[in-house]
Structure 1
């Protein structure tokens, strides 16, 4: 009698069971939705209330506080969700429940109210808790009898992860920035729902796999870590002395957890809502929440030290090595996750994203290839899956076809819009004012030329007789046809007031009504078309974020072959490389933004290079970390140590958003270059320290490689 696993391997797609590709597409749509929303949130929250695409005009500090708590909780709730899936729901139902909750979260965010935003983020955190730990568990169960194919399965699965992230950030970001935020948030929800439906309808393909809770909690381990040589593996036999949690241990865990979660919620509450639960602990030099965090950290360190000291020497040494790796992981994610906060603000307000003429044509061609070729490849995978499984799961395949038809439609619309976007010079009036130094004298630039600022005259402004009015020329790019002399209305597109967009009839009405409701100047500027230019394209802020996924796909195989060769570096060397290469990326940004004047844009080349080096750093460090959890700790402690590892990543994510939220304050007080120097120096020093610790870590690991 064939088992469900044997039946699953009968219908193969590219040498793997068709069920793997059902999981591939489920994860792809989930990542599409997650990254599509993630790339929008800080941009939306910090965009000006009055403008081409109004946001909420939060400070970056407040937006970072909220986003950091959201990102932190995403790595904590899966610990609870995994237990529920193991004990109660089973893996497949956990995926469906989690997906439906996340769909509701995306829908809630599309309403763009404060209540719906908070509810949406809460639902996304809860849904991720169910979804995140279960997909890899299903794959683990599928490949129990075919472990030799597991590496290939994970390679395919993670291609789905990166494909989803790539298209989610590209399409949700494009719709949100070009049409409106609700369209971007809403699109994320649409694909999350469709992905859920196709997985649910494919349930019969899996039989009992992932359907029932397992009796023993099995933690899914990363690729290739169970096939180590016996002398380098950690088993329960290495742990000669039992080390159960004492009553004091449990109390300390409870206290530190409560304070940690309290800080996670208090940070945005205190900054956004003025509610500070730790105000009584405040000192003259430190906020109360940071006093509480330091206390919790002290408790946690005591707990770790006391527990480690109870183990035998080999296990104790390996646990110390694990903690060192976890500690430096915090510094990596502190820097890497700037991509969700400060780098979004930098791309929006400080990077020259306008391309015209041949440069615009070249970008459109490259962007077309970058979009269409991967989509063709994934569509081909769908075609093979359809041929193999249509008779068994027809409606699941139909749902996937609907997904891809929608994808191709949006991609076609996006590319056509960019190819047909034309640039126009438009003339408008502005009030000229001298830029003054602190002593009242007029500021000069490096060449000794007097500096002036220009405030565009909106239709709601009153111009005084003493104001000096001058004509200014700016460029707008829209897929619309105008001729010289046409009267148009324009409005600012970024928070710096250095880019402008054309207001069609619908946007014009909204701009006036929105400003009236807010009691503000509507910012609508009357202008005249003075020149019809050539093709021009404005690269969206979110486009730069797709580079991480693209570079992962491009370089992952190189790093995989490097790790399998005789030149495979030690774990500490990989960590050091990851941190130092990351630092190089931020060093390039610090160099590129050095000495720039207010209102001057940085070349996008610096940001593209930064994402390249950040990705190379990620490929060095990120895949290494989780594998060493199972290598360095006793088998019966793997679940606990996975929790600790994700806690380190959660802390890194929270710190990234908190520090990234200071980009405006640091830039104002010092410079933009100084801000990026922080993320150059910190990971570089951390990388050097890890490299210096290499001999010590080798001794502590006792043969684990």
Structure 2
């Protein structure tokens, strides 16, 4: 211990909240990376699926294709870190890996701002590669910092995890708001700006870290520990120390499964973008892709089983326990990561996001507190950090201050914009028709009265003989101050009308002309000045996960520290079931809704609450059990297995999430959410039922 401490004599000289200042440099670096990652993620599906004609046009891609593209992206995010970690360990060091990864990701965000097909896909590739360098090596630096102080590591990881959630929170809030309200490229660009600034503040903070994270060399390598006397070990422990070398066949099987895995990851994207098939269309009369992928999974299973059976019973049993947990991990992430695809689509297209009067006022107050209070707390931490490090790392502190000026400016602009909106009732001519179901039967309300729909009259929708033309009204939010009786032009997007200014009208007219279509601009008149109204962005709901994590994490942590701390399998099973309840809430809330109708936003709020609670129950079970249960010789392969399970779960999440419109059209929206209710509940009950078996397989590991 004495030698370890002397190697880092000034480690605790500059403390912030009882921890080294370097921890908070990592905190802010991770915060800005997560800001950019989640800020981009919350916009991507929306951009890909938005109409090519509109106030904020997108690519008008089907949700199925958009989900397939996101599925590839999500899967690769959990595969490239394996390679990034190896490169950092052996060649470039953790610090350079973080910087290289950050710069590559900055280029990725910059590419996406151009919104062309080539640069959008290039941007996603760069983000995947950059994440591969960044993701594993931030935690490696943190681990190295606390190598001599293991008793403080848990607290350090808790603080670091708060940085992750703070970044996700503000990234989705601000990038999402700017992307939806001003333009997608501005949202993508904001993500890139903070990624670059986060990189620079980390780079200029080098004096704080000393040699931690530097390029590995012989002089800095840790000396081998004194050989262990195997006579004092049990037979099982002695077996763990024995070599279990990979055979030539093992390496061949690893190569085959890796190739099949990468082909599977890219297959949908290659077909969507270039109609290129990476798998044969048919093999033995069956779907070629399915045959190859199933073959690859069977080979992988053989590889894992053949290696496991070479170990003694205790080691073998523990690795089987890891594989069982990894299997159920797929079901967890398959459902939880709907937040990146189907839940965003649901928030955008099926959730009532327009609030008026007192409800709008309450939301603005709540949203202001939700934004400003966390910013004040994090700014206070920034000031504490600056007091300790401004002499050592002046440039780093200046850049960090600039990032906070930027995020404060963005937040104040957002809040001021929502508080400054005016609400007007506009009247326009519309064609009234009775609403009918798929079979042509009239749809009635709860009082058995017919429900009507109103389609505004414009150049592309002129009334025909016999049509019932009526005056219809809508409430519209606008920054400009207008008066009763003013003639205005309005345009409907995502079910809500917008009052057009001259620039917006010219922009829309140009798009319709280029597409050889009649314009859909509606002539209207302001007939009443209304109370305040606000339209919540679809991306706003995504911040609820981070908000609930910050609010609930300490309570759940106290539960695990009490006598009520259940075994790993019970925790994981409960996590799956609690998360499924969130989807059950959505299935109930969306029951019976028809096209064009929207449900209360509270269903989505409750869903995110249960999803987050489920995550907090499941999060203690994972990588820590891999490190506890697996012998050193197999740890790399088993970590790879665990990340592969997460990658498969993310891939399935995006693929299935892309089916939301298809399943809704064939069955109902409620049925779509029921899938993610039933499957996790069954998986949760199974893993709980397996508790006695898993407990026996773990042989005392807790």
How far, CA to CA, are the matches of 1:492 and 1:57 in structure 2?
16
| Partners of 1:202 and 1:396 within 8 A in 2 | yes
| Partners of 1:36 and 1:168 within 8 A in 2 | yes
| Partners of 2:281 and 2:287 within 8 A in 1 | no
What does the per-residue CA deviation read over 1:302-348, in whole Å, with 9 as the maximum and x for residues that have no partner?
22222212211001111111000000000000000000000000000
What does the per-residue CA deviation read over 1:198-225, in whole Å, with 9 as the maximum and x for residues that have no partner?
1111112211110122669999xxxxxx
Query: For residues 281 and 252 of structure 1, do their structure 2 counterparts lie closer, same or farther at Cα, with a shift above 3 Å needed?
Result: farther
How far, CA to CA, are the matches of 1:649 and 1:478 in structure 2?
44
How far, CA to CA, are the matches of 1:413 and 1:365 in structure 2?
15
Residue 5 of structure 1 deviates from its aligned partner by 2.6
Residue 451 of structure 1 deviates from its aligned partner by 4.9
Say whether residues 1:55 and 2:69 are aligned partners: no
Query: For residues 680 and 575 of structure 1, do their structure 2 counterparts lie closer, same or farther at Cα, with a shift above 3 Å needed?
Result: same
Q: Who is 2:622 aligned against? A: 625
| Partners of 1:107 and 1:186 within 8 A in 2 | yes
For the residue of structure 2 that corresponds to 1:431, the secondary structure is: strand
Q: Who is 1:503 aligned against? A: 500
Q: Who is 1:119 aligned against? A: 122
Q: What are the residue-to-residue correspondences of 1:160-559 with 2, within 5 Å? A: 160-213=163-216, 237-239=238-240, 242-281=243-282, 287-435=287-435, 447-494=447-494, 498-559=495-556
Query: For residues 144 and 423 of structure 1, do their structure 2 counterparts lie closer, same or farther at Cα, with a shift above 3 Å needed?
Result: same
Residue 8 of structure 1 deviates from its aligned partner by 3.0
| Partners of 2:239 and 2:311 within 8 A in 1 | no
Query: For residues 151 and 233 of structure 1, do their structure 2 counterparts lie closer, same or farther at Cα, with a shift above 3 Å needed?
Result: farther
Q: Who is 2:695 aligned against? A: 698
| Partners of 2:240 and 2:631 within 8 A in 1 | yes
How far, CA to CA, are the matches of 1:20 and 1:33 in structure 2?
20
| Partners of 1:87 and 1:215 within 8 A in 2 | no
Q: Who is 2:576 aligned against? A: 579
* Structure 2 residue corresponding to 1:97, chosen from 95, 100, 110: 100
How far, CA to CA, are the matches of 2:622 and 2:681 in structure 1?
18
How far, CA to CA, are the matches of 1:595 and 1:217 in structure 2?
65
Residue 499 of structure 1 deviates from its aligned partner by 1.5
How far, CA to CA, are the matches of 1:599 and 1:339 in structure 2?
22
| Partners of 2:243 and 2:633 within 8 A in 1 | no
* Structure 1 residue corresponding to 2:87, chosen from 72, 84, 88: 84
Query: For residues 491 and 288 of structure 1, do their structure 2 counterparts lie closer, same or farther at Cα, with a shift above 3 Å needed?
Result: farther
Moved more, 149-158 or 120-129: 149-158
What does the per-residue CA deviation read over 1:399-449, in whole Å, with 9 as the maximum and x for residues that have no partner?
011111111111111111111112211112223345556676656566554
Residue 18 of structure 1 deviates from its aligned partner by 1.0
For the residue of structure 1 that corresponds to 2:425, the secondary structure is: strand
For the residue of structure 1 that corresponds to 2:423, the secondary structure is: strand
Query: For residues 233 and 369 of structure 1, do their structure 2 counterparts lie closer, same or farther at Cα, with a shift above 3 Å needed?
Result: farther
Say whether residues 1:110 and 2:116 are aligned partners: no
Q: Over aligned residue pairs, what C-alpha RMSD do you find?
A: 2.3
Say whether residues 1:605 and 2:602 are aligned partners: yes
Query: For residues 634 and 685 of structure 1, do their structure 2 counterparts lie closer, same or farther at Cα, with a shift above 3 Å needed?
Result: same
Say whether residues 1:657 and 2:654 are aligned partners: yes
How far, CA to CA, are the matches of 1:656 and 1:529 in structure 2?
45
Residue 529 of structure 1 deviates from its aligned partner by 1.2
| Partners of 2:575 and 2:614 within 8 A in 1 | yes
Compute the TM-score of the two structures, normalised by the length of structure 1: 0.94
For the residue of structure 1 that corresponds to 2:215, the secondary structure is: coil
| Partners of 1:666 and 1:675 within 8 A in 2 | yes
| Partners of 1:326 and 1:645 within 8 A in 2 | yes
| Partners of 2:344 and 2:538 within 8 A in 1 | yes
Query: For residues 259 and 520 of structure 1, do their structure 2 counterparts lie closer, same or farther at Cα, with a shift above 3 Å needed?
Result: farther
What does the per-residue CA deviation read over 1:645-695, in whole Å, with 9 as the maximum and x for residues that have no partner?
111000000000111111000000000000000000000000000011000
Say whether residues 1:18 and 2:15 are aligned partners: no
How far, CA to CA, are the matches of 1:218 and 1:689 in structure 2?
45
How far, CA to CA, are the matches of 1:699 and 1:671 in structure 2?
43
Q: Where does the alignment leave 5 or more consecutive residues of structure 2 unmatched?
A: 223-231
How far, CA to CA, are the matches of 2:376 and 2:203 in structure 1?
25
How far, CA to CA, are the matches of 2:599 and 2:442 in structure 1?
25
Q: Who is 1:153 aligned against? A: 156
Moved more, 462-471 or 150-159: 462-471
How far, CA to CA, are the matches of 1:544 and 1:563 in structure 2?
28
How far, CA to CA, are the matches of 1:4 and 1:405 in structure 2?
37
Residue 21 of structure 1 deviates from its aligned partner by 0.9
| Partners of 1:32 and 1:167 within 8 A in 2 | yes
How far, CA to CA, are the matches of 2:283 and 2:443 in structure 1?
41
How far, CA to CA, are the matches of 1:335 and 1:485 in structure 2?
50
Q: Who is 1:224 aligned against? A: none
How far, CA to CA, are the matches of 1:555 and 1:514 in structure 2?
47
Q: Who is 2:45 aligned against? A: 42
What does the per-residue CA deviation read over 1:440-489, in whole Å, with 9 as the maximum and x for residues that have no partner?
66565665544544332234555444544322211211222111111222
What does the per-residue CA deviation read over 1:167-221, in whole Å, with 9 as the maximum and x for residues that have no partner?
00000000011111111000000000000111111112211110122669999xx
For the residue of structure 2 that corresponds to 1:149, the secondary structure is: helix
How far, CA to CA, are the matches of 1:250 and 1:4 in structure 2?
39
Query: For residues 378 and 253 of structure 1, do their structure 2 counterparts lie closer, same or farther at Cα, with a shift above 3 Å needed?
Result: same
Query: For residues 436 and 352 of structure 1, do their structure 2 counterparts lie closer, same or farther at Cα, with a shift above 3 Å needed?
Result: closer
| Partners of 1:52 and 1:492 within 8 A in 2 | no
For the residue of structure 1 that corresponds to 2:52, the secondary structure is: coil
| Partners of 1:4 and 1:208 within 8 A in 2 | no
| Partners of 1:233 and 1:631 within 8 A in 2 | no
| Partners of 1:102 and 1:128 within 8 A in 2 | yes
Say whether residues 1:672 and 2:669 are aligned partners: yes
For the residue of structure 1 that corresponds to 2:281, the secondary structure is: helix
Q: Where does the alignment leave 5 or more consecutive residues of structure 1 unmatched?
A: 220-230
| Partners of 1:488 and 1:527 within 8 A in 2 | yes
For the residue of structure 2 that corresponds to 1:132, the secondary structure is: helix
Moved more, 193-202 or 245-254: 245-254
Compute the TM-score of the two structures, normalised by the length of structure 2: 0.94
